Amino acid sequence: MATNRTFTMLKPDAVEKGHIGAILEKISASGFRIVAMKLTQMTRTDAETFYAIHKERPFFGDLVEYMTRGPIVAAILEKDNAVEDFRTLIGATNPEEAAEGTIRKLYAASIGENAVHGSDSDDNAAIEGAFHFSGRDIF
């Protein structure tokens, strides 16, 4: 995968609250092209694998429960400087620390239920995109 791509998930809380349209509008208006997208639900094994880096953290059990409790929107996004620019667009992990106008400031409820995922590096964007998509589902 080219390094001008990142991977995102609109997490179960965002989907439950009906925020898919508003968040995708903000992503598009910020110059990202959607190159892959689907509504899906992570299994327990999916979530444990995706977030394996956090498995020793005290919040890991709650994180797996949260990420598996309902559907998510998974997507690969393309833009110059995609990883960094998307992290700027979503804001800090804790919405109380997120900048005004960021997706997490607007739509996240807490540091745990924070509406959206964004890859933190080009390498992880490639790994995370490939976790959810392959071949002809990527445009």
Query: Cα-atom radius of gyration of the chain, to the nearest Å?
Result: 14
Query: In sequence order, which residues have a C-beta less than 8 Å from that of residue 116 and are 6 or more positions away?
Result: 8, 9, 10, 11, 14, 23, 90, 103, 104, 107, 108
Distance CA 79, CA 53 (A): 26
In angstroms, what is the minimal distance from the CB of 135 to ligand UDP?
27
In angstroms, what is the minimal distance from the CB of 136 to Mg ion?
28
Q: Which is nearer to ligand UDP, 1 or 64 (CB)?
A: 64
3-state secondary structure string across 31-58: CCEEEEEEEECCCHHHHHHHCHHHCCCC
In the shown chain, the binding pattern of residues 86 to 105 toward ligand UDP, with x for contact by CB under 6 A and - for none, equals: -------x------------
Q: Mutual orientation of helices 122-132 and 82-90 as an angle, nearest 10°?
A: 80
In angstroms, what is the minimal distance from the CB of 132 to ligand UDP?
16
Distance CA 120, CA 98 (A): 16
Q: Does residue 127 interact with ligand UDP by CB under 6 A?
A: no
Q: Does residue 120 interact with ligand UDP by CB under 6 A?
A: yes
Considering only 117, 125, 128, 133, the residue that binds ligand UDP (CB under 6 A) is: 117
Which residue stretch of 24-32, 38-46, 114-122, 125-133 sits at the interface with ligand UDP (rule: CB under 6 A)? 114-122
Q: Is 54 a catalytic residue?
A: no
Which sequence positions are flagged as catalytic? Answer: 117
Q: Which residues bind ligand UDP (CB under 6 A)?
A: 54, 59, 63, 93, 111-112, 114, 117, 120
